[in-house]
Amino acid sequence: MEWQPELLRDLLKQKMPFGKYENWVLYQLPVSYLEWFNRKGFPKGKLGMQLQTLYEIKLNGLEFLLIELKRREGL
């Protein structure tokens, strides 16, 4: 997968378009919800890639990357 720096910014801005956490900003989604997608299957397309990336970030304790980016960019 090619590195896409805008992907992290999107996680800080884009809202979940459906489901229990509809209208939540993606980075705020709880790990339990991302684990559910990991078990059941991530959606197809860009949203699925974003959720899978967020799952890996949270699973590996890398949320500080998003927090720092949010602080730097005033998001």
6 pLDDT higher than 60: yes
Q: How far is it, in rounded angstroms, from Cα 14 to Cα 2?
A: 20
Count the neighbouring beta carbons within 10 Å of the beta carbon of residue 7.
14
Phi, psi of 10 (to 5 degrees): -60, -35
What dihedral angle (degrees, nearest 10) is formed by the CA atoms of 26, 30, 33, 35? 110
Give 10-55 pLDDT, tens digit per residue.
999 999 999 999 999 999 999 999 999 999 999 999 999 999 999 9
State the DSSP string of 6-27. Answer: HHHHHHHHPBP-SSTTTT-BGG
d(CA 66, CA 68): 5
For the chain, the domains span: 6-73
Predicted confidence (pLDDT) at residue 2 exceeds the cutoff of 70 = no
Q: Which residue has the higher pLDDT, 57 or 2?
A: 57
Q: Quote the pLDDT of residue 74.
A: 82
